[in-house]
């Protein structure tokens, strides 16, 4: 099957980034969300990024216009009628994602592949709520999508080799580097990265140092380009907590216990950059 048109469900930071790269590659894209204002916000993010590219000479006005012309706004999942692939990029909440996949399975033609950009949830469990588990797959992009090269491609127990091959080829066409990952909690990157971030938050919680101090020692002592506390704010503290919960429940190992300070910040609505406040304050 040749992919020509893709629906992206969720127009936030990840969804808009995925839509931008797909359109840049030449695919027709349907950018979907539950409200028009959300879709418009996603389109505004794409336009803002393209304007930066214009200023830096990376794109022309003609290229910008052509890219935007390939993106169609949508608030109706019925718009899957002429796509070959759906990439779900909704918030990292299992019940929300399962609900979307149940609806997509009912509405989308049976040949349509259903991919999820989940950063930690089991693909096999998501596939189970559909009647096409062989066509359900994980396609985990990284933020910011236009810049980050990696895509973790995760097959569930029932995912077919044909589905994997199609998604692998799609990622390569987007100039990404697809890496095959087994369907375990957290996959590969987040199983390694987020517990490190959680441990950094524990260091703040236990008074070992300030957020600034923890970031500084990891940048200078481990040569990290960005400190783990800053990185947590950029990922979203709610997303970090959700991943730690998946790891903790999935493995039943106390080493994955979420830091109480992380949980408290999420309860307070201090989610990081997207809310204007996390461990640092943002405009």
- Could you please report the per-residue DSSP string of the chain? ----EEEEE--SHHHHHHHHHHHHHT-EEEEE-SSHHHHHHHHHHHHHHHHHHHHTTSS-HHHHHHHHHTEEEES-GGGGGG-SEEEE---S-HHHHHHHHHHHHHHS-TT-EEEE--SSS-HHHHHHTSS-GGGEEEEE--SSTTT--EEEEEE-TT--HHHHHHHHHHHHHTT-EEEEE-S-TTTTHHHHHHHHHHHHHHHHHTTSS-HHHHHHHHHHHS--SS-HHHHHHHH-HHHHHHHHHHHHHHH--GGGPPPHHHHHHHHTT--BGGGTBSSSB--
Q: What is the pLDDT of residues 150-160, one digit of tens each?
A: 999 999 999 99
Residue 30's pLDDT is what? 98
Q: Which of 24, 88, 152, 245 is catalytic?
A: 152
Active-site annotation holds for 140: yes
Comma-separated ranges of CATH 1.10.1040.10 domains in the chain:
191-274
Query: Which one, of 154, 158, 115, lies nearest residue 134 by Cα?
Result: 158
Q: Which of 11, 16, 190, 198 is catalytic?
A: 190
CA distance 152 to 50: 26
Mean pLDDT over 228-253 rounds to 95
Q: Which of 119, 120, 155, 198 is catalytic?
A: 119
Identify the CATH number of the domain defined by range 5-181. Answer: 3.40.50.720
Is the model's pLDDT at 283 over the cut of 90? no
Active-site annotation holds for 190: yes
Q: Per CATH, is 191-274 categorized as 1.10.1040.10?
A: yes
Active-site annotation holds for 224: no
Comma-separated ranges of CATH 3.40.50.720 domains in the chain:
5-181
Q: What is the pLDDT of residues 175-220, one digit of tens each?
A: 999 999 999 999 999 999 999 999 999 999 999 999 999 999 999 9
Q: What is the pLDDT of residues 90-141, one digit of tens each?
A: 988 999 999 999 999 999 999 999 999 999 999 999 999 999 999 999 999 9
Q: Which of 32, 92, 140, 198 is catalytic?
A: 140
pLDDT higher at 1 or 261: 261
């Amino acid at each position: 099957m040749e992919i020509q048109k893709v629906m992206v469900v969720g127009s936030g930071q990840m969804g808009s980034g995925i839509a931008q790269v797909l359109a840049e590659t030449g695919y027709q894209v349907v950018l979907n969300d539950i409200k028009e204002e959300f879709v418009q916000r996603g389109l505004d993010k794409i336009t803002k990024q393209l304007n930066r590219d214009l200023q830096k000479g990376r794109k022309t006005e003609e290229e910008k216009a052509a890219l935007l012309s390939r993106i169609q706004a949508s608030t109706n999942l019925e718009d899957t009628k002429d796509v070959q692939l759906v990439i779900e990029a909704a918030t990292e909440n299992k019940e929300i994602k399962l609900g979307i996949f149940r609806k997509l399975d009912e509405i989308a033609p049976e040949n349509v592949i259903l991919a999820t950009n989940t950063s930690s949830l089991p693909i096999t469990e998501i596939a189970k709520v559909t009647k096409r588990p062989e066509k359900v797959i994980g396609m985990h992009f990284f933020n910011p999508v236009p810049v980050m090269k990696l895509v973790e491609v995760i097959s569930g127990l029932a995912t077919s080799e044909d589905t994997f091959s199609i998604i692998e080829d799609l990622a390569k066409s987007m100039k990404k580097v697809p890496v095959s990952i087994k369907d375990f909690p957290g996959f590969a990157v987040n199983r390694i990265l987020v517990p490190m971030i959680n441990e950094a938050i524990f260091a703040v919680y236990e008074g070992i140092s300030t957020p600034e101090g923890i970031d500084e020692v990891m940048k200078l002592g481990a040569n990290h380009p960005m400190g783990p506390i800053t990185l947590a704010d950029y990922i979203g503290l709610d997303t970090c907590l959700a991943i730690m919960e998946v790891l903790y429940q999935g493995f039943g190992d106390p080493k994955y216990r979420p830091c109480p300070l992380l949980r408290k910040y999420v309860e307070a609505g201090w989610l990081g950059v997207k809310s204007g406040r996390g461990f640092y304050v943002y405009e």
